[in-house]
């Protein structure tokens, strides 16, 4: 329930001070100061640009910093093979489809005059867009002397152009890459207020403007507008918004595995009583966890714990930008052989393109063993057959299921991609330096935690927030009236609050 708030309505914009009667009859005097001098005119576009930034700050006073994005796409490599959401950037706002990627740090989108960028997408209902900084009244390039350019060096190979633009180059694990320059502009989103309300809000963020792409990024069959990096470095959106006090330093997602996929991404904490947590390995560029053992139906596999230890080229990484899952090479054969032996009486094994597969007429949930990934701190991630197998096709009425876990030859990396992350709430508690999870039906709504103006923690049904009708909510109407008064004061009197 929305907590009582003292609303200040400005009925006069001429006097240098205004007296307002607050809650309980207390009189408060607010000093007002002109932000622009009256000795010269100001372009309306300047006022509107400044107002948009101010509106974001105004709304933050009433919000609790929980932002949710609807997720589209699926883990299934035969359909989409990735999860993505939509972000709105610039003034006026323009919408872009971006892949959710916890394995990289920076948000970037394709920009005007991009070399090698796809112009169409094979994904249903996606029309690719290009960001044009010259068409946004609030866009500002990042210079090489800007301290935010130095933050970019944590995430990419940065460089400076002849025009003193802060540039970047990203190289991804699949061999694809992108380069461009950083720009600052507004991101627009819905903020959950109280426990039943969404309002339009915005905040300035720095993101990449891609002018060149290579590799799989150029292929139109599954092309999208960019990548939404959720890493831990300073230029990730979650780091930028949390440092501004817009959102807490935590984000969560729940990726739906069946019936076309989808789900929800939350800049905030998804609340679930069955969550278990394990600490992050400190001082790592990715979300590294301490995987200790793997068990099938409760029986621990004979894999040395040293196989999973974190080093420069080893360890266990949580990465939503990876479609499948990967086991360290020393653990892969042990795991596959154990699974094959456990189902030898119920399936017909076969090898397809070098991958271990199984022909079965039974449900994989009935015959394939439960897999337990056991992490430091006593946290266990339980995987069903559907969480480590991929259905490829059928032969004579029998389904062909193949091993979804793969290996990277010559490397000791274990990567938990979308195949494993789907159908679970995953919480990245960056403030607490830990990751939590719980099995969950991600077609259902989720609860998120929020703190009211009285410091009380409440839970909001985020999955149904977007289906409400906020324009009919009395609190929304009241907030709209207040913002209208403030907007008039800003445009015609252009005052700033002390």
CA-CA distance, 280 to 428, in Å (whole number)? 9
User: Is 319 an annotated catalytic residue?
Assistant: yes
Q: Which three-class secondary structure state does DSSP give residue 101?
A: strand
CA-CA distance, 268 to 321, in Å (whole number)? 20
Contact (CB, 8 A) for 128 and 163: no
CB neighbours (10 Å) of residue 469?
7
Contact (CB, 8 A) for 236 and 230: yes
Catalytic residue among 68, 101, 185, 429: 101
Q: Which of 356, 352, 284 is nearest to 103 (CA)?
A: 284
CA-CA distance, 130 to 213, in Å (whole number)? 13
Contact (CB, 8 A) for 103 and 300: no
User: Is 101 an annotated catalytic residue?
Assistant: yes
Catalytic residue among 190, 319, 387, 418: 319
Helix ranges restricted to H, 153-293: 237-243
Listed in order, strand segments (DSSP E) in 78-151 are: 82-89, 94-101, 107-115, 140-141
Say which DSSP state 175 is in.
Answer: S
> To which H or E segment does residue 333 belong?
helix 329-342
Say which DSSP state 489 is in.
Answer: I
50-56, long-range: CB < 8 A, 24+ apart: 50/490, 50/494, 51/487, 51/490, 51/491, 52/91, 52/138, 52/186, 52/202, 53/138, 53/186, 53/202, 53/204, 54/490, 55/201, 55/202, 55/483, 55/487, 56/186, 56/201, 56/202, 56/203, 56/204, 56/246
- For 87, the token pair is 């972000």
CA-CA distance, 296 to 339, in Å (whole number)? 8
- Known catalytic residues are 101, 319
């Amino acid at each position: 329930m929305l907590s009582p708030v003292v609303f200040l309505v400005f009925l006069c914009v001429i006097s240098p001070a205004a007296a307002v009667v607050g809650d309980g009859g207390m009189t408060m005097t607010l000093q007002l100061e002109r932000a622009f001098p009256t000795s010269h005119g100001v372009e309306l576009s300047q006022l509107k640009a400044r107002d948009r930034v101010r509106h974001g700050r105004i709304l933050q006073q009433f919000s609790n910093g929980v932002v949710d994005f609807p997720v589209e796409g699926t883990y299934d490599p035969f359909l989409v093979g990735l999860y993505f959401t939509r972000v709105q950037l610039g003034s006026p706002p323009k919408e872009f489809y971006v892949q959710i990627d916890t394995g990289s740090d920076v948000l970037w989108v394709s920009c005007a005059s991009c070399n090698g960028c796809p112009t169409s997408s094979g994904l249903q209902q996606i029309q690719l867009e290009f960001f044009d900084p010259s068409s946004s009244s609030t866009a500002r390039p990042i210079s090489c002397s800007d301290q935010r350019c130095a933050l970019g060096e944590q995430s990419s190979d940065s460089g400076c152009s002849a025009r003193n633009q802060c540039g970047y180059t990203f190289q991804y694990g699949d061999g694809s890459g992108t380069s461009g320059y950083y720009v600052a502009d507004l991101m627009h989103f819905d903020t959950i207020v109280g426990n039943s309300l969404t309002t339009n809000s915005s905040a300035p963020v720095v993101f990449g403007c891609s002018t060149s792409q290579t590799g799989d990024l150029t292929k139109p069959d599954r092309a999208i507008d960019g990548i939404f990096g959720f890493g831990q470095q300073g230029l990730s959106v979650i780091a930028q918004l949390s440092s501004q006090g817009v959102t807490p330093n935590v984000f969560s997602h729940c990726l739906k595995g069946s019936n076309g996929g989808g789900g929800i991404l939350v800049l905030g904490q998804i609340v679930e009583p069955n969550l278990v947590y394990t600490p992050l390995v400190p001082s790592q560029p990715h979300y590294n966890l301490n995987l200790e053992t793997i068990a099938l139906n409760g029986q621990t596999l004979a894999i040395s714990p040293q196989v999973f230890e974190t080093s420069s080229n080893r360890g266990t990484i949580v990465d939503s930008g990876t479609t499948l899952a990967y086991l360290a090479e020393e653990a892969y054969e042990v795991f596959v052989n154990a699974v094959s032996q456990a189902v030898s009486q119920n399936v017909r094994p076969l090898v397809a393109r070098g991958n271990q597969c199984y022909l079965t007429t039974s449900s994989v949930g009935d015959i394939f063993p439960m897999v337990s990934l056991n992490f430091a701190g006593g946290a266990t991630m339980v995987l069903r057959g559907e969480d480590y197998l991929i259905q490829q096709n059928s032969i004579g009425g029998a389904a062909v299921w193949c091993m979804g876990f793969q290996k990277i030859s010559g490397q000791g990396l274990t990567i938990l991609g979308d195949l494993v992350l789907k159908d679970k709430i995953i919480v990245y508690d960056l403030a607490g330096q830990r990751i939590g999870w719980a099995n969950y039906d991600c077609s259902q709504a989720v609860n998120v935690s929020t703190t009211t103006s009285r410091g009380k923690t409440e839970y909001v049904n985020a999955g149904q927030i977007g289906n409400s009708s906020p324009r009919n909510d009395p609190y929304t109407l009241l907030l709209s009236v207040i913002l209208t008064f403030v907007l008039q004061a800003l445009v015609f009197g252009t005052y700033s609050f002390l």
